[in-house]
Structure formats: structure tokens, C-alpha cells
Chains A and B, each alone.
Chain A
Amino acid sequence: MAEGENEVRWDGLCSRDSTTRETALENIRQTILRKTEYLRSVKETPHRTSDRLSNTESSDGLNKLLAHLLMLSKRCPFKDVREKSEFILKSIQELGIRIPRPLGQGPSRFIPEKEILQVGSEDAQMHALFADSFAALGRLDNITLVMVFHPQYLESFLKTQHYLLQMDGPLPLHYRHYIGIMAAARHQCSYLVNLHVNDFLHVGGDPKWLNGLENAPQKLQNLGELNKVLAHRPWLITKEHIEGLLKAEEHSWSLAELVHAVVLLTHYHSLASFTFGCGISPEIHCDGGHTFRPPSVSNYCICDITNGNHTVDEMQVNSTENVSVSDSFFEVEALMEKMRQLQECRDEEEASQEEMASRFEIEKRESMFVFSSDDEEVTPARDVSRHFEDPSYGYKDFSRHGMHVPTFRVQDYCWEDHGYSLVNRLYPDVGQLIDEKFHIAYNLTYNTMAMHKDVDTSMLRRAIWNYIHCMFGIRYDDYDYGEINQLLDRSFKVYIKTVVCTPEKVTKRMYDSFWRQFKHSEKVHVNLLLIEARMQAELLYALRAITRYMT
């Protein structure tokens, strides 16, 4: 059976022209029918061993196609493609072939599917975003579907990601995806790893590299150390790390390449945080996103179990019962009240300098110990650990041993003045894009809080942002860290801490137990703040090291 002839080309579907899409779909339909025919004919003839081998192979291939079709039928922004894919699946089913069905409950395990925008019911602006995203990647991933709660941010996010992965840049395309894999694997984020393994192969990457970092070129292996430190203890990055990468004989990185790599690493570290923080489900067409089994057999999603999450039923119980409505109502009221107080008595009560300084230290120290009590050991869901070295290296060791995080003063090195200039110099245009993204994330507000309208949330947003930076030892001279304690309660801190530092340990319980009265869109908003603040913190440390190397 000639592979080339049966190779399915999906790219025609990304076209904005409906006739092109139609022909592409028709081709796909015919290929699938051919494959099906072939499989049936093989089944009827008596089996030989060699045949059986190729048989399983080709049925695997067919299943992949069907899974992809399933994804299209649910997630393609173009209505015609959705309908036609569904039609093809139906007709295949009629031929007696088992077709897949989606597993899980929509794009996120934490957010009920009905809360999330359905593909097909988006407004024009969102549709344009979806179409752009689909055209660029050939899919509409779950991250996009969750982020679309905040279309303004999503636009900037997609633009940046598209530029980083597909536009002009010093690194070759497959390197970019591989770096994405490395970064995501650091947090055992199998979702992102799977996604980028596909992309990596699609742009012509060598499948051998995927067997582990030691199979990748030395140059990428060298990056492993930076990846590790950046992900878990960015404050330890020194100019020696940078020098080691830039001066490695024939494996050395150029400054521009390094900045590109650093931006990619930080982007994917924080995206991993988002993935776990919002409980993003596996893509429909990836492993764990669909099943060929009939519905009654299983209620479990592999990833749920391995991530320490619970079954669907349990989760639903969790989210609805234990908290009474009035409790959580008071939570919001109390928070509002505190904000009001802080706003008013700011000028009256002057804390002394010493106290201000110690408040930061206290907050920083405490942030080390903020951890959820249920700290079961997590085994990586998939064999993602092979993409990085030294799996034991993590944030946890350090906090348990009470190591000291040195203080980084934003007034001496900040993104707007220094980081931006450096990035834009070495990797033009990206500084601008990231700067925009930070701005949008930091300033995004709808002036609502749970059921209240017209609230100035800037104080709360600043507290969250600065709390995250505080965990990384980044200090704002002009901020009173006492505010953090007033505004962020313990369960919220646990959530923030976990998402930012050890995202793989986020559970549905954590997600549900903070800000119980708040809407899901607001929780996603919090996640956006978290990931951008984290990205900026990592970038600041990495870029400062590069600057120090350069001077």
C-alpha cells in the first residue's frame, strides 16, 4: 500500500476560501474510504503475520485520521468543515468501522463545558481570532478556547505565539518547537508536549530527538541547564550560565538565538502554568482526548488520574457541595471592604521604612511555605521526563530547605526600560509584542468583581502581580507588601503558588476552593495575570544575566 497516495493533507482546510476547503475535505473523504476498503479487504483474507503487522499499522493510521476528523467536527471555526467532517464520520460508522468520540468535558476539566464558548456561537471578532489561529496551526486548541474569555488578550497572545513559532527569527522552526517541548516537559505538561511533538514532526524535525534530550544536538542539550534553572529558580541565573552557552566552541549560541530561546522557554513555562491552572483537557485528536470505546466503559481520563485529579463525578460533588452560598458571598464582600479600607486609610497609617522592608521579607519567606497540604508525589503522566535532565530539580526542594532568595529590585532593572530594549535589540519586534501582551494582561479589567460592577480592581491586580514577583524575589520599592496579606487569602495564595511554581500539582479542588463566588472568566483572568507575571519574572532574571554578560 503506497503511503504517499494515502497521505492526507489537512492544510487545504485552513484556507479561508470555502471551495478550497470543500475540495480538501473531499480528498480526505476519498482517502479515508480507500483506507477503509483496504482494511476490510485485509480482514476478509486469511491473516499472515506480516500482513497483520501492516494491518495494525494501517488501522492505527486510520484511527489517527478519524480522531483528527473528530477534532475538526468539533473545533473547526468553519461551519462547513464541521458539518462535513461529522458527515464523513457518520458514513464511516455506517460502514461498520468504529469511530472515536471525545473524552472529557470540553476544553477544560475545571470549567464546565457549558460555561465555555462553543465553537460556532462566537461573535465576529472571536471568529476572526479563531480563523486566524486555525489558519496558522490547523487546529483550534483548548487553550485558545479557554482564553477566548478575554478576546483582547487572546489576540495579542496568538500574535506573539505565532511570531515566536512561525515568523522571522534566528532559530530554525524545528528548534523552536523542540525548545517548547523542553520547556513544557520541565513541568511535565504532557498536553503541550504532545501538541508540539506533532508540530515538531510537521516542520521536519528529526523524530530521533524525541527519544530524549541526549539525542538532540549538543547545542540544545546545553540549553537544558538554563531551562532547568529558569523554570524553578530563575534567581540563580548568572552571567556564567550565559557565557557557557555563548562560548561553547562549535555548539555555541549567538546572542540573538539565545534571546529567542529564552523568550520561548519562558513562554512555554508560563503556558504550562496556564494549562494546569485552568485544567486544560487533552486535545481531541491527541492521545487521551478521544476514545474508540463505547461510552459506558470508562468514565476516566488518563490524565485526570495521573495528575492527581479525581473522577468526574467526584469533581462535580466537590464544586457544588461543601461551601454554602452565603459563606462565599461574604468572602467577596469582605474582599471589597478590605480594598475600600486600603484605599482610604492609605495616607493616614504610615508604616516605617523598616516595617515596609520587613513586610516584603515576610511575604517572601511565607510564600515559600505556602503549599497545599495534599502533597502526594506525582509521577509524570507520559514519558515526558526524557526531554529534560535532572527531574528531581524543582521548586520544592529549595523551599523546604529554606534557601534564601536574593532580592531583585525592579527599580534597577525593569522590563519597560531595560528588558524591552535588550529584547528588541537582539530579536526585533518581539520586544514590542511581549510588551503589548504584558500591558494588556496587567491592565485588563472589566471593572467587575463577582456580582459587583464598577469596581476598581487595579489594587487587587497589582497585589496578585506583585505577589508572584515577590515569590521570585522581585521587589517593588514603592509597594506596601502588607496589602498582599490583606487582599489575598490563604487558599488563593496556595493556588497562585502552585500554579506558578509547581503547576503539575494543581488540582480541581484548589481551583474550586479559592474565590468561590467568582466567575470562571475571572478565574481565567487571574490565570492570565499569573502566567504573564511569571513570564516577566523569568525574563527579567534571564535578561539581567545577559546584560551582565554583555557589559
Chain B
Amino acid sequence: MEKMSRVTTALGGGVLTGRTMHCHLDAPANAISVCRDAAQVVVAGRSIFKIYAIEEEQFVEKLNLRVGRKPSLNLSCADVVWHQMDENLLATAATNGVVVTWNLGRPSRNKQDQLFTEHKRTVNKVCFHPTEAHVLLSGSQDGFMKCFDLRRKDSVSTFSGQSESVRDVQFSIRDYFTFASTFENGNVQLWDIRRPDRCERMFTAHNGPVFCCDWHPEDRGWLATGGRDKMVKVWDMTTHRAKEMHCVQTIASVARVKWRPECRHHLATCSMMVDHNIYVWDVRRPFVPAAMFEEHRDVTTGIAWRHPHDPSFLLSGSKDSSLCQHLFRDASQPVERANPEGLCYGLFGDLAFAAKESLVAAESGRKPYTGDRRHPIFFKRKLDPAEPFAGLASSALSVFETEPGGGAMRWFVDTAERYALAGRPLAELCDHNAKVARELGRDQVAQTWTMLRTIYCSPGLLPTANLSHSMGKGGSCGLQLMNSFNLKDMAPGLGSETRLDRSKGDARSDTVLLDSSATLITNEDNEETEGSDVPADYLLGDVEGEDDELYLLDPEHTHPEEPECVLPQEAFPLRHEIVDTPPGPEHLQDKADSPHVSGSEADVASLAPVDSSFSLLSVSHALYDSRLPPDFFSMLVRDMLHFYAEQGDVQMAVSVLIVLGERVRKDIDEQTQEHWYTSYIDLLQRFRLWNVSNEVVKLSTSRAVSCLNQASTTLHVNCSHCKRPMSSRGWVCDRCHRCASMCAVCHHVVKGLFVWCQGCSHGGHLQHIMKWLEGSSHCPAGCGHLCEYS
């Protein structure tokens, strides 16, 4: 084929100019291709086949190749390609399976050159050899690829993919003889053009059809593939096995993929359905597209970079019947809208957060973030000079470690494991839990339990009995009683006495004030509280007005008897040291009031001394007790639960909720309960306390929670012989007809709990194995392994 006069002069090495623009086509486009002079583009579709000149300000229609009166299916194009060597040569793939070549140099109106009707089904893709003038490759729905020499009337060779349909074929740009083809079944094949008998290499690239592929213009052996599974993958073909280098997850199936010229890691994609935008990705940052073009109103069907060495002009055709030129500088950059901040807690109290570097720098200059016991670790992303957006979305990651042991949540685990939540009378449960809490040094919690017991379990007791009881034991029972009364009536007294104006009265202050009677100052170093610059509030509640209606307890009365004592702190002994201070109501510390306390820190305010001497006082107040119905306290208990929950001790809230059951449930709204439950379960699961968490789920009355352990209860087992899943029954394999799980002790099939040694993989009935290992440390199967049962 001889080269005829050029249709237009090429921009001889000049700079491309233009702007973002679009033009309306008469019909939806299926594919576009650019002439090598970067000044013309061909658009092909079912009922359109035109060449447009790309001018400075607009597209100008140059030529309509669809001539003839009756439109033929040969003109219904699925794909079009412009030869990159010869400006007059085009090829189209028709939906009826015909491959047509066009010679723009023909003098007549009809430029159709040759017709190849060898494919039986739709031809999905045609591709010219990048350097050879006469070699054309086609891939069709019938599963064949054909190589045509344009100087001959029929195909030179036929390649059978042994599969249903070929979706894309692409000649390698670097390797003269190689081409890649992608298939509907998810495979990618590499072929040598000289060897039509079998492919050089085949691998499964995607789940479902692979719609497109593109060779990297510079990096030898890099192939990008896009599939219906919404992924773009970059493969390195130079190694022995095709290696997946990068994977970009998009939001819709990928219809086309094209490497961006001059940008090694960039590629453009458009999707087959639903999503109309064109994205340019940096394959190293697979989560946020580097750029996005949003001009089209329907799916984009064809994309092409205007010039093989200019990264800023992208052309696209769409089902919405328009042709667009996109300028890279006009693209929207999702990364600008991205939020580069993140915060996450580790299991052991480590805290990591990422923020814009600028912010972090400013912040850390301003305030020392790090206490002497916390070590920040900084990671900084290496800046890549080739990365144009590095500055935009880079963020610094800081990790704060708590000192080993410092933030130990041992108490949480112990409490969770040892608490009794059901199955015994309320009184016993309360006592038990109080005991547990006390043993763990959480006295306030212990006290709460004891109070609960008193409130809900002893309404029948006579005041005198109560009195003697508390007297006799010097016990906590009476004490708690008193305290629970104290909390409201003491407040005004204290408040009036000391007039601390910094107090912030809120609901929680009731409970805080409970401890005010103890008048212990627990002083701690405030810096610890989340780096807050707010000094700890020494609070005295000026409590809500209604408080004074309650029983009077003269605060004066209590104070003289206040002992000095040092109390163990419950939550973070290392961080909150308690200092002896002279008695005095005025220095009550209330951390709870500080808005900066984070809930999960579980900083339980330092509170609540247990003091037996108190019991003396309680006498007078115990008298009031028994006349009151337990309902009377429900508000109080509710507030108490809220208090604990907000302190971060959701464990307490949930435990009390479960233990008290109906007694308080009605007072707390469903959503809050559910929230508590889920938080607690989440915590338990983080600590891998599966049994406890399951028990909590089981005991919960909230529907949403109790259905948690009803979901995904299926257990899938594989046969131990043939390794295939056992579908019908858990113990007999359908395929090899063997019983998969035999007990090594009794040699019967295990149908229930099966326990096995992870060392030698022998096992059997739980009871049998347990019994066996009591007597022997060797494996019951006789394999000689020393099994361990823990």
C-alpha cells in the first residue's frame, strides 16, 4: 500500500495546543483512535464512522466514512484502530464478524479497502503491529485471533484461545513478535506471532472477563489488564511467572485501560457500566485516582492519549454521542478532597494517627505531645519526585506507644472473666461481683455493687436490723446505703461552703459527689489527660436545684470524721498517682468533667474511698432506706450507669444492666443499651474473650445484639484426605467416601466437638482427648508426638 498525500500536516515536533472541549456526534461512539500526527481522531460506533480534525478551539468533521445508501452491518463498528506508521490506514472490527481496512488515500468517496470475513462471531478488537506496516491482528467472540497480512486476501495465521471469546488483543510495543490477548473466562495469553499452534504463556488475571489490556510504552513486559471484577492489574511479564505488580480497585467494571505517556506509573481507565467518568490512576496509589474527568453523561467507550509523548491531552468518546478532549490541568483531583487524617487505637493502648504534615509540624512545635513515658514514632513517606501530587495528600504518621504494662488492661480482662452475670440470685451476684472488684482493687466499683445489692435486695429488712447489721460488721452495706443517699444532699452543702466557681454541674456530678463525702484529694498529673491544656477541674458540683429536696445530711457531720488515707486507684495506677492530702471538701478532682477525656482511655475518676468508719454515720440514714421502694432508685441507678459508660467503663454499665435485668432496663432507652452492649462486646472481642462476649450476647435482651450469635453459624469443613469441602455432612466426605474425622482414642466418627493437636493433627472427641492426655503426654494415635492440651 503506497502512502498517498497526507490528509493534514503533522505538528512537526511542535507543541500541542488546545483546550478542554467537546463536540456532539450524531450517534453513540464505540471506539476512538488517534492518527499519529495527533491532529485527527476517528470515531466509530454502530451508526457512526467519522474522522474529526482536532483544532485549537474545536473539533471539525473531516470525513464521513459511512457512505452508501443502505447501511451495512459491516459498518457497525465495535472497534477502530489507526495505523501508527501509516496515516492513511485504518481498520475496523464489525459486530457481524467482519474486519475491514480503510485506505484514506483512495480517490473515490468510498475508502473501504479490504474485507476479511473469516470470523464467525463479532470481532471485539483489532490491532495493528506497531512497527510493521501490513500486519493486522483481530480477536473475536468465536475464540479465535487472526493475523492478517494486508497484502493478501486472507489471514496468515489463526490462533485458537481454546476459550469462548477474545476481548482484547494488543501487540507488544517492545517485543516484535509478541502479542497479548485477554479472554472472557479471565485468562490472559501471550503469543508469539510465529507460533500459532499454542500460546507461550497463559495465566488467570481476573475473576470474570478481562475486557482490556495495554502494554506499557516504555517498561518492557509491563501489561495492564482491566476486568469485569472492577480491577486494574499491572503484570510484570519479564519474570518466569507473570507477577502482579500493582492492583487498582475501581468502582465499576473496567472497559478500557491506557498507559499515560511520559508518566511511568499512570494509566487512564474508563468503565463499562454505571460510572461515566474517566480516571487517571497512579498505580502505586491505588485508592484515590490521581485525576478524574467528569465531562461525559453516559459511559465512556473509548479513550486515547492524543500524542504518544504528550501526557496532558486525553481524547474520549462516549455512548452519550460526544467526543471530548480533556486537558490534564483541567481534571478534577479527588486527592484534593481526600481527608488525609486518620486515627486508630491499638489493642494495647497504642495510638496512631496520621495528619497533614504541615499540621503536625505546627502542632508539635506548639506543644509537647509526648509525655516522658510515651514514645512517638514517626514515619514519613519518602517523596517521589516523579509524583506530582505528593504534597497534596501526604500525611505524617505518628504512633504513640504506652509504656509496656503502663496501660495494661489486666483489670478489664480479669473482671470480664470473673464477673458472674446470671444464674444466681441477685444478692449473690452483687456480692460476688463486689468481691471481684475489690480484689482487683477497684473499690468504687465494688462499692457500687454492694450498693446495688442493698437497694434491690433488702427492702424487707427492718431499719434496726439494717443498722445492727452495718454496725456489727462495720460493713460496707450500711456504708453504701449512706453514700447512695449522700450524693444528692451533700452537694449543696459542700457547694455552699466552698463556692468553687469552676464547678460544672451536670448529671454526672451526682455520682462524683458521692465520693465527695470521702473528701479525699486525689491529685494527679494532669498532663496525662490526653495532652489537654485544660487543667483538671476541681469540681464541686453546684448541682441541679432539685437536689435539696432530699434527706438532709449535715456535711459538717461527716468531715471531722474523715480519716486520711491513701487509696489505691483502679484504672491506671501508674499514671494516676494518688497523693495524700489533708481532708477538705474543696479539692475534689473531677476528671469526668473534662471534655477532653477520651472514653476509651477508661480513666475512671479517682474516687471512692472505702472507709469503715463511715458506717457509724450511716446509721441514721439507713433508717430512711427501707421505706423506699427500689423503684425510687432507678433514676439514680440509671444515672450511675450513664456515668460509668461515659467514663469509658462500659463493662460496668453492661454488667449491671445484665445483673439487674428488668429492674432497670425500662429506664434506659433501647438504643443506649444496644450501644453499650455493642461497645462492650467489641472490647471483649478485641481482648479475645470470646466466651465472655458470647455470654454477654446471650444474656442481652436487645434484639439487635442477641441476633449477633445467630448469624453466620455455618462451619465449613474440608476433607482431611482429599482436601475438598465436605458439603452435605461434616464427617463423611462425599468424594472419597471416608470418614474424615475419626477419634484417635475410640476410633469412632466425631460428630460434635472435635479437638486436635496442631502439632501432629491427630485428635478426637473432646472428652476422650482430655482424659487421654491426663494419663499420657504422647499422642493417642501413636505417632510419637508429644501433644499438649491447654
Chains A and B belong together in one complex:
yes
A354, A422, A478: which has the most chain B beta carbons within 10 Å? A478
Q: Report yes or no: B96 in contact with A422, Cβ–Cβ below 8 A.
A: no
Q: With contacts A353-B74, A356-B96 known, is A412 near B252, CB below 8 A?
A: no
In-complex Cβ contact of A411 among B46, B120, B734, B751 (8 A): B46
Q: Report yes or no: A350 in contact with B121, Cβ–Cβ below 8 A.
A: no
Q: Report yes or no: B274 in contact with A422, Cβ–Cβ below 8 A.
A: yes
Q: List 15 A-B contacts (CB under 8 A).
A: A16-B728, A124-B734, A124-B737, A128-B734, A350-B117, A354-B70, A354-B72, A412-B28, A418-B272, A420-B228, A422-B273, A425-B252, A425-B273, A550-B274, A551-B297
B288 contacts the other chain (CB 8 A): no
Q: Mark A389-413, 1 if CB is under 8 A from B, else 0.
A: 0000000000000000000010110
Q: Report yes or no: B729 in contact with A478, Cβ–Cβ below 8 A.
A: no
B298 contacts the other chain (CB 8 A): yes
Q: Which residue of B lies closest to A421 (CB)?
A: B273
Q: Report yes or no: B252 in contact with A551, Cβ–Cβ below 8 A.
A: no
Which chain B residues in 78-136 approach chain A with CB under 8 Å? 78, 94-97, 117, 119-122
Q: With contacts A131-B728, A409-B46, A422-B273 known, is A417 near B117, CB below 8 A?
A: no
Q: With contacts A16-B728, A417-B273 known, is A411 near B228, CB below 8 A?
A: no
Q: Report yes or no: A478 in contact with B72, Cβ–Cβ below 8 A.
A: no
B302 contacts the other chain (CB 8 A): no
Q: Which residue of A lies closest to B297 (CB)?
A: A551
Q: Mark A110-128, 1 if CB is under 8 A from B, else 0.
A: 0000000000000011001
Distance (whole angstroms) from the CB of A122 to the closest CB of chain B: 13
Distance (whole angstroms) from the CB of A421 to the closest CB of chain B: 4
Distance (whole angstroms) from the CB of B120 to the closest CB of chain A: 7
Q: Mark A401-440, 1 if CB is under 8 A from B, else 0.
A: 0000000010110001110111001000000000100000
B184 contacts the other chain (CB 8 A): yes
Q: With contacts A350-B117, A356-B73 known, is A478 near B122, CB below 8 A?
A: yes
Interchain residue pairs A-B with the least CB separation, the first 9: A477-B95, A421-B273, A353-B72, A411-B95, A477-B96, A421-B253, A478-B122, A478-B97, A478-B121
B78, B252, B274: which has the most chain A beta carbons within 10 Å? B274
Q: Report yes or no: A357 in contact with B73, Cβ–Cβ below 8 A.
A: yes
Distance (whole angstroms) from the CB of A391 to the closest CB of chain B: 36
B727 contacts the other chain (CB 8 A): yes
- Report the Cα distance A357→B272, complex, angstroms: 27
- Report the Cα distance A551→B296, complex, angstroms: 10
Q: Report yes or no: A417 in contact with B211, Cβ–Cβ below 8 A.
A: yes
Q: Which residue of A lies closest to B75 (CB)?
A: A353
- Report the Cα distance A551→B273, complex, angstroms: 10
Residues on A close to B: CB < 8 A? 16-17, 124-125, 128, 131-132, 346, 350, 353-354, 356-357, 409, 411-412, 416-418, 420-422, 425, 435, 476-478, 547, 550-551
- Report the Cα distance A148→B737, complex, angstroms: 22
Q: Report yes or no: A551 in contact with B184, Cβ–Cβ below 8 A.
A: no
B509 contacts the other chain (CB 8 A): no
- Report the Cα distance A124→B729, complex, angstroms: 13
Q: Report yes or no: B274 in contact with A416, Cβ–Cβ below 8 A.
A: no
B276 contacts the other chain (CB 8 A): yes
Q: Report yes or no: B209 in contact with A416, Cβ–Cβ below 8 A.
A: yes
Distance (whole angstroms) from the CB of B244 to the closest CB of chain A: 22
- Report the Cα distance A52→B96, complex, angstroms: 73
Contacts of A346 in B (CB 8 A): 120
Q: Report yes or no: B72 in contact with A411, Cβ–Cβ below 8 A.
A: no
Interface contacts beyond A353-B70, A425-B273, A477-B96: sample of 5 additional A-B pairs, CB < 8 Å, sorted by A: A124-B734, A131-B728, A411-B78, A411-B95, A547-B273
- Report the Cα distance A32→B622, complex, angstroms: 63
Distance (whole angstroms) from the CB of A322 to the closest CB of chain B: 40
Interface size class of B (residues with CB under 8 A): 35 or more
- Report the Cα distance A475→B70, complex, angstroms: 18
Q: Report yes or no: A478 in contact with B274, Cβ–Cβ below 8 A.
A: no
Q: Mark B33-66, 1 if CB is under 8 A from A, else 0.
A: 0000000000000100000000000000000000
- Report the Cα distance A161→B320, complex, angstroms: 37
Contacts of A416 in B (CB 8 A): 184, 209, 228
Q: Mark B260-285, 1 if CB is under 8 A from A, else 0.
A: 00000000000011101000000000
Interface of chain A, helix or strand or loop or mixed?
helix
Q: Which residue of A lies closest to B140 (CB)?
A: A478
Distance (whole angstroms) from the CB of B121 to the closest CB of chain A: 5
- Report the Cα distance A238→B727, complex, angstroms: 43
Q: Which residue of B lies closest to A425 (CB)?
A: B274
B121, B253, B272, B273: which has the most chain A beta carbons within 10 Å? B273
A17, A409, A477: which has the most chain B beta carbons within 10 Å? A477
Q: Report yes or no: B728 in contact with A551, Cβ–Cβ below 8 A.
A: no
- Report the Cα distance A412→B78, complex, angstroms: 9
Q: Which residue of A lies closest to B45 (CB)?
A: A412
B76 contacts the other chain (CB 8 A): yes
Q: Which residue of A lies closest to B274 (CB)?
A: A425
Q: Which residue of B lies closest to A422 (CB)?
A: B273
B141 contacts the other chain (CB 8 A): yes
Which chain B residues in 148-196 approach chain A with CB under 8 Å? 184
Q: Report yes or no: A412 in contact with B272, Cβ–Cβ below 8 A.
A: no
Contacts of B273 in A (CB 8 A): 417-418, 421-422, 425, 547
Distance (whole angstroms) from the CB of B306 to the closest CB of chain A: 26
Q: Which residue of B lies closest to A443 (CB)?
A: B164
Contacts of B297 in A (CB 8 A): 551
Q: Report yes or no: A421 in contact with B272, Cβ–Cβ below 8 A.
A: yes
Q: Which residue of A lies closest to B28 (CB)?
A: A412
Contacts of A477 in B (CB 8 A): 73, 76, 94-97, 122
Contacts of A353 in B (CB 8 A): 70, 72-74, 96
Which chain B residues in 733-773 approach chain A with CB under 8 Å? 734, 737, 751
In-complex Cβ contact of A421 among B76, B96, B97, B252 (8 A): B252
Q: With contacts A353-B74, A409-B46, A478-B122 known, is A421 near B728, CB below 8 A?
A: no
Contacts of A16 in B (CB 8 A): 728-729
- Report the Cα distance A422→B274, complex, angstroms: 7
Contacts of B298 in A (CB 8 A): 551
- Report the Cα distance A476→B121, complex, angstroms: 9
In-complex Cβ contact of B76 among A132, A354, A411, A547 (8 A): A411
Contacts of B121 in A (CB 8 A): 478
Distance (whole angstroms) from the CB of B623 to the closest CB of chain A: 52
Distance (whole angstroms) from the CB of A470 to the closest CB of chain B: 15
Contacts of B208 in A (CB 8 A): 420, 435
Q: Report yes or no: A421 in contact with B46, Cβ–Cβ below 8 A.
A: no
B119, B122, B299, B729: which has the most chain A beta carbons within 10 Å? B122
- Report the Cα distance A189→B28, complex, angstroms: 42
Which chain B residues in 366-422 approach chain A with CB under 8 Å? none
- Report the Cα distance A356→B70, complex, angstroms: 13
- Report the Cα distance A281→B283, complex, angstroms: 59
Distance (whole angstroms) from the CB of B176 to the closest CB of chain A: 32
In-complex Cβ contact of B274 among A17, A357, A421, A476 (8 A): A421
Q: Report yes or no: A478 in contact with B728, Cβ–Cβ below 8 A.
A: no
- Report the Cα distance A249→B74, complex, angstroms: 48
- Report the Cα distance A143→B549, complex, angstroms: 76
Q: Which residue of A lies closest to B207 (CB)?
A: A432
- Report the Cα distance A118→B571, complex, angstroms: 70
Which chain B residues in 298-319 approach chain A with CB under 8 Å? 298-299
- Report the Cα distance A425→B121, complex, angstroms: 28
- Report the Cα distance A354→B97, complex, angstroms: 15
- Report the Cα distance A454→B751, complex, angstroms: 46
- Report the Cα distance A420→B120, complex, angstroms: 24
Q: Which residue of A lies closest to B751 (CB)?
A: A17
Distance (whole angstroms) from the CB of B532 to the closest CB of chain A: 44
- Report the Cα distance A16→B727, complex, angstroms: 11
Q: Which residue of B lies closest to A550 (CB)?
A: B274
- Report the Cα distance A525→B119, complex, angstroms: 29
Contacts of B727 in A (CB 8 A): 128, 132
Contacts of B274 in A (CB 8 A): 421-422, 425, 547, 550
Contacts of A418 in B (CB 8 A): 272-273
Distance (whole angstroms) from the CB of A351 to the closest CB of chain B: 11
Contacts of A421 in B (CB 8 A): 228, 252-253, 272-274
- Report the Cα distance A125→B121, complex, angstroms: 36
